[in-house]
């Protein structure tokens, strides 16, 4: 539980009592990408002490936002994930990401995790209203790491990789973040390529409007 409370009858204060401790939102950010082992969380949160990560996970579990489960053999490992209540933080994280994006300094090559560029960069820009009735599969190959997203009926989710993509975006994670911040794609041509039909490219631009 948090060591201090705002002790105010206020929805914002109550939410901050639950997720306002240092690192708590970043732990939730990592779990919003999918289930993670403790070591995965530690790797995705450089700088957090092991005992502090343990404390944050315990607090979030007590608040009913995070759950721990044991995977069966052959995986046989403990993973953490968001509960049904915890998934309600996803749109909050998306709006915080949109708020913070204009204040980001230009990223250096190799500084951005591909996972973060896809889900925390492009994913934060997703407009469900613009995506209503749209089916689009996007394959990202960033710094040699592959991720897939699918738009379907106004929802964004991980895509089934067994089918062909409508668009393939290849290049650096830093360049994808620059695209998300509104940099003209032509200025990124040597660092990021978008392959696919013109109609699919227009759909992507409409459903992921940049924050400038």
Domain with residue 44: its CATH number is 1.10.10.10
**Tell me: the pLDDT tens digits for 140-183?**
999 999 999 999 988 888 887 888 999 999 999 999 999 998 89
Total structural domains within the chain: 2
Which of 31, 64, 91 terminates a domain? The answer is: 91
Q: What is the SS3 string spanning the chain?
A: CCCCCCCCCCHHHHHHHHHCCCCHHHHHHHHHCCCECHHHHHHHCCCCCHHHHHHHHHHHHHCCCEEEEECCCCCCCEEEEECCCHHHHHHHHHHHHHHHHHHCCCCCCCCCCHHHHHHHHHHHHCCCCCCCCCEEEEEEEECCEEEEEEEECCEEEECCCCCCCCEEEEECHHHHHHHHCCCCHHHHCCCEEEECCHHHHHHHHHHCCCCC
Please indicate, yes or no, if residue 126 is contained in any of the structural domains.
Answer: yes
**Tell me: the pLDDT tens digits for 109-121?**
989 999 999 988 8
Domain limits for position 17:
11-91
Task: Report the predicted TM-score, pTM, of the whole model to 2 decimal places.
Answer: 0.86
74 pLDDT above the threshold of 50: yes
């Amino acid at each position: 539980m948090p060591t201090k409370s705002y002790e105010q009858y206020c929805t914002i204060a109550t939410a901050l009592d639950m997720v306002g401790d240092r690192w708590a939102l970043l732990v939730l950010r990592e779990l919003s990408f999918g289930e993670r082992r403790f070591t995965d969380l530690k790797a995705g949160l450089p700088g957090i002490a092991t005992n502090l990560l343990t404390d944050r996970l315990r607090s979030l579990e007590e608040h009913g936002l995070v759950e721990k489960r044991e995977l069966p053999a052959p995986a046989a490992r403990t993973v953490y994930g968001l509960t049904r209540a915890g998934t309600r933080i996803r749109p909050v994280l998306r709006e915080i990401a949109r708020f913070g994006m204009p204040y980001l300094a230009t990223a250096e090559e190799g500084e951005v995790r591909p996972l973060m560029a896809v889900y925390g960069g492009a994913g934060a820009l997703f407009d469900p209203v613009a995506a209503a009735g749209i089916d689009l599969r996007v394959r990202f190959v960033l710094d040699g790491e592959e991720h897939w997203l699918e738009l379907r009926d106004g929802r964004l989710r991980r895509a089934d990789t067994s089918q062909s993509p409508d668009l393939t975006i290849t290049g650096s994670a830093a360049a994808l973040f620059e695209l998300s911040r509104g940099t003209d794609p032509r200025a990124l041509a040597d660092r990021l390529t978008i392959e696919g039909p013109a109609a699919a490219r227009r759909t992507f631009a409409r459903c992921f409007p940049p924050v400038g």
